[in-house]
Structure 1
């Protein structure tokens, strides 16, 4: 199995570990230190050796930062984790704060004092992030001090070794474009940006550019590495040589100069010494990268990672692969839903059992490489923790009479899937049906949206919330994130969210996942993946429009639907979607599962 359920959090560890860190800070003459949930690549997926925030605090979420001062400490998380952080962290040691509403900079301006020295690791904080931190420190009369080596590592005596997962070549039959052609495209973009070179720190950008995949982090085929793309010569790839077989090294050597990660920062300084203008993404690149370029005498050009947008816009081969992966995944998922319907009403099934069963059905496809993230399997109040991760300590029986939320995905060589369904177990109350239907209305609004070229995800996000807002309800996460092709299940820059400022383009894949989470009771989320289509003409219209094609194929539980709350158009969409699921997935099922699907997709 790809997912384990051992309890990896222990709030009791917080006190002794923060004491050890404070002792180390005192030895270094520092009054405080910043501990982000980030590694040198600033990615969502962090290997165990770089999980400093988790080691120090016990918090296991995918975003956050701790600030440790001599007499107080705080941990900052966003709306997804406000419940989770209080369960995983000793709140007598770390005061929970909201990452957005009460950001670290505000807290620092309030609690730092004149003359204090606040340390930070310059590889773990972005250029823009450091600017904000410096401003907060200056406001308080304190100094922000870069450290040469991280004091958390000195206190972390059993820190794991860095990963050395094997790198594989990703075939052009699935990538749809040769790595040499991608490199030429990105080199041209570097030239257009008036830079001599661009720095890539995101492992998924590097994997896409060189048509490689890795195995350095859980559930995502990333090769942890750095790269420099230059406009007038081969790019440079900095990767641990132990990850490369002879054949992979030979192929990559034809595309790039290969070096060890230890040579990355010196190479940046060397670029600077040549008077080069170097493009970095200030929202992704660590401050140490900019410092090295400037130290060598070079000039930093700030701009977006030039790979992000080309990677986000999938070509026809990638979209065809995504469709194939979703159909394969749908067969496994419907088989799971059939099994769940037979098993859960007895009252003996628990969250771990459901997650394990779903993974087994995916494994039986014979094509599963990994799950795309730890399955969110939330029964009762655990479902209200929108990014809940079940372990043996938190595991609950799935109760009859409450909705059950399960959010999961698979990594297949031709595509990455991500699907959430909220399932009825026994009779559902009118209130539960009302909440579910309000979420469904938002889901349908996104799925059926038509929007002009240039529309951003922020402009669409409201559509998913209107029905909830009218009822005085909302959810504290984005409506949709980008998704890669056998890469990250959370991909930028595309997103449907209040922060989604990048225009959506044909070929982008995004999730559509509104939800509602009454605290301590249950959770509701409905998620499909969508690919942006168009532009196409609309009868009687004046402008071409974009829209969405739904990739995910699995029934939505109509036992939770209050049909009286749906408009005629919404009901028609749901019935048409279910017809498509039945006609597409049904022929690939065994007889018993096929009969179950016929019932589950009956029109309402």
Structure 2
């Protein structure tokens, strides 16, 4: 038996011991994080799947893995189809599948520290039809069979200076207290790691690519807070930074403290808090009010200091991107550049700024057909050469103290001219990118209302892409941050109904993917800003583009661009040159000049 078969077999034996007929394994941690620490990578350990979203279900005689459209190709490559059946979300769901496959009267286990309350209710309801039940486990059976499971990180939590945060933790706690008071609530549970980090102005190194510290907060209406964190992570600097109004307690004290809130009105966010938190509060007799975490919106609306920091980070990052793109243009056509060596080179250029703290996610370095895998993650096994006369897509970002970046560029590796089809698709993606960048919209507009701006030119040619057009981005925090997003409005996706407000940062990233051949994506970050329009009736907004790096001119079919679009691209490139030229010299500067030449 190979590794993953042995692991599945071991888990099934453990389920028998635990008196369970099945178990659900999500990619999640106790904070509902998108990216999780290595200790919480249970799905990857069990199945081999390395994407950042997915769930598996193990029954005695069958097992299934559930992923969305981003991972359709990846799951087939990484997960053994003899052991697991592939299920597509949203066409089906874990709950719906359990409702059809769970044995009559079965006990299906789940870890209430890894799932949301809504999910648990939906799954329990689906199982009811089969006379089966959903059972919260006291110990996760995967952990019981995962012999060399890493420990959660004990890296110290560190203060995040006001010069970068733009607002003190004291002010932020006071605002939450005011919000609690206005709603007649006693306390709020803050369990999302980036919310904890933002509220207390602390950062950490517990999750790859996201500078957060594993911890929980209970914020009180009097402006004080309790922080639950492993004592090994607490330094004298952290204690001094937090001050007297924040009581620091070990992580184990979290549930007992929740249980002391009997009779109190407590705000908990069902999107961001696991089911176990609701169970603890409800079991203790607290009055639970399901409401969005009060930190989410203030965190999304960047203050002037955060905005200025982001611009500085983008200018620094853009210069590293230019050095990389020039390197690719010289080295790739010779052969011998691989997806891995390119990603390493890009990280080195970023690191040479002297200010890079981490990448903001694993670089998506996709040559030719790998570029068509939307959330491709390059590995030793999959790394391809950047072949002469092919498309190369690179989506990457950096974490800097003053900002988090995320940029995608698609280039043609010569020496021959790109084919007409590739130029046509690239230009349609570019036209969508420009339409969104130039959009002007009234106050109250949600991201879902802007999504088709970016898709219209693909749609008119009978084409589309299977991912959202834009996500929020944090300030030296999570590269994917809610509540705002630009995507097709769908019942299951949070955030598409959130109105866009000045100060929010989003990505603008339409794409096109031809399976087995190539992928195209053009991504910049944008800031929502007020627009003064003569004679405007009411408040109107638009976007300031924050990302500066050339867009591949040799992939543009000029015949498809309108005069306004051409003007936008030329003025964008003029700005790119003015922002980046002071940081570059010699061959890099000459390359930039050519890449930004007027079309």
From 392, 406, 422, the equivalent of 1:404 is 392
Structure 1 residues 498-532: Cα deviation after superposition (integer angstroms, max 9, x where no partner): 24111111001111111111111111000000011
Change (3 A) 1:233 1:184: closer
The alpha carbon displacement at 1:103 in A equals 1.3
The alpha carbon displacement at 1:443 in A equals 0.7
Confirm whether residue 161 of structure 1 aligns to residue 156 of structure 2: no
Report SS of the residue matched to 1:271: coil
Confirm whether residue 447 of structure 1 aligns to residue 443 of structure 2: no
Confirm whether residue 504 of structure 1 aligns to residue 500 of structure 2: yes
The alpha carbon displacement at 1:473 in A equals 1.0
Moved over 3 A (4+): none
Report SS of the residue matched to 1:407: strand
The corresponding residue for 2:424 is 434
Confirm whether residue 545 of structure 1 aligns to residue 540 of structure 2: yes
From 364, 370, 381, the equivalent of 1:382 is 370
Contact 2:447–2:497 under 8 Å retained in 1: yes
Structure 1 residues 276-299: Cα deviation after superposition (integer angstroms, max 9, x where no partner): 111111111111111111111111
From 291, 312, 320, the equivalent of 2:308 is 320
Hey, what's the Cα distance between the residues in 1 that align with 2:239 and 2:535? Answer: 56
The alpha carbon displacement at 1:587 in A equals 2.5
Report SS of the residue matched to 1:549: strand
Contact 1:481–1:496 under 8 Å retained in 2: yes
The corresponding residue for 1:30 is 20
The corresponding residue for 2:524 is 528
Contact 1:12–1:90 under 8 Å retained in 2: no
From 307, 316, 321, the equivalent of 1:333 is 321
From 92, 95, 115, the equivalent of 2:85 is 95
Hey, what's the Cα distance between the residues in 1 that align with 2:2 and 2:590? Answer: 51
The alpha carbon displacement at 1:222 in A equals 0.5
Larger mean Cα displacement after TM superposition, 107-116 or 287-296: 107-116
The alpha carbon displacement at 1:66 in A equals 0.3
CA RMSD, 1 decimal: 1.2
Confirm whether residue 107 of structure 1 aligns to residue 107 of structure 2: no
The corresponding residue for 1:79 is 69
TM-score normalised by structure 2 residue count:
0.97
The alpha carbon displacement at 1:541 in A equals 3.1
Confirm whether residue 20 of structure 1 aligns to residue 10 of structure 2: yes
The alpha carbon displacement at 1:12 in A equals 4.3
The alpha carbon displacement at 1:253 in A equals 4.1
The alpha carbon displacement at 1:600 in A equals 0.7
Report SS of the residue matched to 1:236: strand
The aligned runs of 1:264-343 (5 Å cut-off) are 264-272=254-262, 275-343=263-331
Structure 1 residues 125-173: Cα deviation after superposition (integer angstroms, max 9, x where no partner): 1111111111111122210111111111111111111111111111111
The corresponding residue for 1:3 is none
Hey, what's the Cα distance between the residues in 2 that align with 1:262 and 1:253? Answer: 22
The alpha carbon displacement at 1:102 in A equals 1.2
Report SS of the residue matched to 2:428: helix
Hey, what's the Cα distance between the residues in 2 that align with 1:27 and 1:580? Answer: 64
The alpha carbon displacement at 1:307 in A equals 0.5
Change (3 A) 1:12 1:82: farther
The aligned runs of 1:125-144 (5 Å cut-off) are 125-144=115-134
Contact 1:537–1:543 under 8 Å retained in 2: no
Gaps spanning 5+ residues in structure 2: where?
A: none
Confirm whether residue 230 of structure 1 aligns to residue 220 of structure 2: yes
The corresponding residue for 1:599 is 594
Contact 2:174–2:223 under 8 Å retained in 1: no
Hey, what's the Cα distance between the residues in 1 that align with 2:216 and 2:65? Answer: 29
From 577, 586, 590, the equivalent of 2:581 is 586
TM-score normalised by structure 1 residue count:
0.96
Report SS of the residue matched to 1:265: helix
Contact 1:129–1:283 under 8 Å retained in 2: no
